[in-house]
Structure 1
Amino acid sequence: MYVILVYDVTDKKVTKMLNLCRRYLNWIQNSVFEGEISEVKLQELLTKAKLFMDNEKDSIIIFKSRQLKWLEKQVIGKEKNELDTFL
């Protein structure tokens, strides 16, 4: 599946969440990631994130799509991390 993951965590946890998400998805903007991921790998990411998240202060939002082709993406301004597909 293709996901867009957005997180909002306290300042002390930003680096930890950034590093965790980078292991699974492509970083495209501050606190925003996207990419293909299996349901198992997504659950693995979330399980690890929940170990240091505070449910009263931190959040993760995930938008899911079957594939990238079902998602229309428009970027206004400079894209921070362009995703290229190499075959």
Structure 2
Amino acid sequence: MYTIIVYDIGVERVNKVCKFLRRYLHWIQNSVFEGELTESQLREVKAQIKKRVDESIDSIWIFIVSSPKMVQKELIGIKKAETSNII
């Protein structure tokens, strides 16, 4: 399933979360990752994120789309990172 993860977390936790998410997804913008995950990978990502954040003050949004073809993206400005799975 195509997954987009967006987060707003304390600066002291950003590097840990970013480094972890890069194992599974493509970094496309500060605090934004996207890519294909299996159901088991998504469960693992959620579990590991919960270990790395403070749920009382941090926010993590996970958007799940059945297919990347269902997402229409438009970029205004510069691309922050190259991805291998551009829609």
What is the TM-score of this pair, normalised by structure 1? Answer: 0.90
Alignment of 1:3-42 (within 5 A): 3-42=3-42
Partners of 1:8 and 1:67 lie apart in 2 by 25
Structure 1: 4+ residue segments shifted above 3 A: none
> Which sections of structure 2, spanning at least 5 residues, go unmatched?
none
SS of equivalent to 1:80: coil
Partners of 2:76 and 2:52 lie apart in 1 by 33
Partners of 2:18 and 2:81 lie apart in 1 by 14
In structure 1, the partner of 2:54 is 54
SS of equivalent to 2:78: coil
Return the offset for 1:42: 1.0
Partners of 1:13 and 1:23 lie apart in 2 by 16
* One-letter amino acid matched to 1:64: I
Partners of 2:52 and 2:26 lie apart in 1 by 21
> Which sections of structure 1, spanning at least 5 residues, go unmatched?
none
SS of equivalent to 2:52: coil
Partners of 1:82 and 1:53 lie apart in 2 by 26
> How many percent of aligned residue pairs carry the same amino acid?
45
